[in-house]
Amino acid sequence: MQHRHHESRPELRAIAIANPATRTTPGHLLILTGLVALALLLASLAPHANAFGLFGGPKEVKAKAGAVTLPLSEVSDGKAHFYTFKTGGKDVQFFVIKSKDGQIRTALNACDVCFREKKGYTQDGDYLICNNCGQRFHSNKVMEVKGGCNPSPLARTLDAKNVTISEASLKAGVSYF
């Protein structure tokens, strides 16, 4: 049986322990490369990661006085903001977006066709993309075009500072989830 010389000499063994580079093998590099690749893969899934619970998810909101009220300042940046409202043991997911035409638009994070898959939408610039079938919808059309794979519209009211969605409207969308 062949031994490395430093294994029998304590001073060399201490140097080997202190210097992990002498202990790196091709197997270690393969494992490290695999972990880096896995981390990159998970990061690339970030837009879809809500389904896996990896990178957070929709912000949970609660109704007060029969409605969910969100400050316009929170949703006026042109990005889709995703929320969840718990009712009857289910999470009703929805989003709010200020579209390119300046309108505040609200919809369930589901459509009439793909809702059973529970994948919702991802934003790509001015478009919302169905995470199940890949259909693209311009944000200007949210609440305007209904049915099919379009985001299911969600009634809302606006005032100078807030967008308000009734608890009844959210509860009516529970069948999508």
49 part of a folded domain: no
| Residues 110-145: tens digit of each pLDDT | 988 999 999 999 999 999 999 999 999 999 999 999
Which residue has better confidence, 156 or 57? 156
Tell me phi and psi for residue 74, to 5 degrees. Answer: -80, -20
Sheet holding 67-71, edge to edge: 67-71, 162-166, 157-158
Same domain, 136 and 80: yes
Same domain, 87 and 143: yes
Q: Is pLDDT at 68 greater than 60 in this prediction?
A: yes
Q: How distant, in Å, are the alpha carbons of 104, 108, 132, 145 from that of 152?
A: 15, 5, 15, 9
d(CA 7, CA 66): 73
Q: What is the mean pLDDT of the chain?
A: 83
| Residues 82-115: tens digit of each pLDDT | 999 999 899 999 999 999 999 999 999 998 899 9
pLDDT-based confidence at 79, cuts 50/70/90?
A: very high
Q: How many domains, in total, are found in the chain?
A: 2
Is the pTM value of this prediction over 0.75? no
pLDDT of residue 57: 81
Domain of residue 30, residue span = 5-44
